Amino acid sequence: MKNGKGGRVKGVGEELHGQVRKGKPVSMSRSEMTEMVLPSETNPLGKLLGGHIMHLVDIVAAMAAHRHSNSLVMTVSVDYLDFRNSVSVGEIVILNSQVNRAFRTSMEIGVEVFSENYLTGKRTHTTSAYLTFVALDEHTGGPKEVPPLIVKTAEERRRFLGAGKRRKIRLANRFGKR
């Protein structure tokens, strides 16, 4: 598949060290988690605690990373977390995640969180996040190569290309090369 600049978007049969690695489509990593918001998880205003949302975001992102890599994974960074709207006690919180891009041993996972009023069915986008996970070898505990990501739709391609740009910024910030 070609990217917008005439270059190739890696995927189906990516070659690494002379071996062709079989890719996995985005759909294989998609994960969803649903939970009812209880009073014990809210602040005095009856709104879901931001820290609890962060916890749920990390879990659903890990699910997508596990599915893509078929291995143990570890959260390496959360470089973007945006709280757009609050979630009220009694509402349903829905978290969706997917791998946006797979690099050599790491993956960027995108997460979107929605609240749903179960009486009206109205859904509101409440939170977005980008997390980076590294796949771990179960025997050594060191980084493990992950399958390339196969992108099929325009939306998946947009996320794939955006993840590459975000990675450059992450690495520049991490190593002080701004």
Look at residue 13 and tell me if it is in a domain: no
Per the listing, tokens 């520049």 go with: 172
Whole-model pTM: value is 0.86
Type of residue numbered 36: M
Tell me, yes or no, whether 144 lies in a domain.
yes
* Separation between Cα atoms, residue 44 and residue 35, nearest integer Å: 20
1, part of any domain: no
Q: What's 136's domain CATH number? A: 3.10.129.10
102 belongs to a structural domain:
yes
Quote the number of domains for the chain: 1
Residue 37 sits in which domain range?
20-174
Would residue 97 count as lying in a domain?
yes
Mean pLDDT of 30-41: 97
According to the model, what pLDDT value does residue 20 have? 57
| Section 109-130 average pLDDT | 97
- Residue 178: pLDDT band (50, 70, 90) is low
Which tokens go with 25? 């489509």
Q: Identify the DSSP state of 148.
A: P
